[in-house]
Structure 1
Amino acid sequence: MRRKWDAKTKARIVLAGLMGECVNDLCRAHDLRPGQYYKWRGHFLENSYRVFEKPPMAPNDMELAAENEELKKLVGELTLELTSGKPAR
């Protein structure tokens, strides 16, 4: 039967190997085949740059950002109206 490994456990095992722990000892301790470890390591290294990427905005966040920009524009127009005495629209 196949085991399901959670992402945190996989990362912890791969990092231990990258930090110098013997891969054979790691695999033996976690009842893992070395081939599986190297697949995880490859995937980890290929995708590690994503840690430094800005996460995409959720749809709700995008709506809030658009509303925020609209409100800033409105505040600017009203400020101009108040300071100049003329309608800005």
Structure 2
Amino acid sequence: MRRKWDAKTKAKIVLEGLMGGCVNEMCRTYDLRPGQYYKWRGHFLEHCHTVFERPPMAPSESDLAAENEKLKRLVGELTLELNNGKSIL
């Protein structure tokens, strides 16, 4: 049966190996194949720089409220234009 490893555990194991731990002994302790460890390590080293990147900023609540009001006005204006163009029977 295949084990599911969470990201925190993978990071802990990889860091343990990077800090000089014996990989074979560590793999025996965690019941992990060395090949899997080296795969995780490669992925970790390839993507570790992303920790220092800023995530895209989410719009603030006030920005969303302002956009919502703008859209409501636009819908109102378009509704008036449509109603003015039609004759009421």
Partner Cα distance (1:16, 1:40) in 2: 12
Q: How many residues align?
A: 66
CA gap 1:20/1:57 in 2 versus in 1, 3 angstroms: same
Q: CA RMSD in A?
A: 2.2
- Measured after TM superposition, the shift of residue 56 of structure 1 is 1.4
Give the structure 2 partner of residue 48 of structure 1. 48
Partner Cα distance (1:49, 1:28) in 2: 29
Alignment of structure 1 residues 1-89 onto 2, 5 Å: 1-58=1-58, 60-61=59-60, 64=63
Secondary structure of the 2:28 match is helix
Give the unaligned 5+ runs of structure 2. 67-89
| TM-score for both structures, normalised by structure 1 | 0.66
- Measured after TM superposition, the shift of residue 64 of structure 1 is 2.9
Q: Deviation string for 1:54-80 (max 9, x for gaps)?
A: 11123x449738x5xxxxxxxxxxxxx
CA gap 1:64/1:4 in 2 versus in 1, 3 angstroms: same
Secondary structure of the 1:54 match is coil
CA gap 1:46/1:32 in 2 versus in 1, 3 angstroms: same
Larger CA Rg, structure 1 vs 2: 2
Runs (4+) off by over 4 Å: none
Give the unaligned 5+ runs of structure 1. 68-89
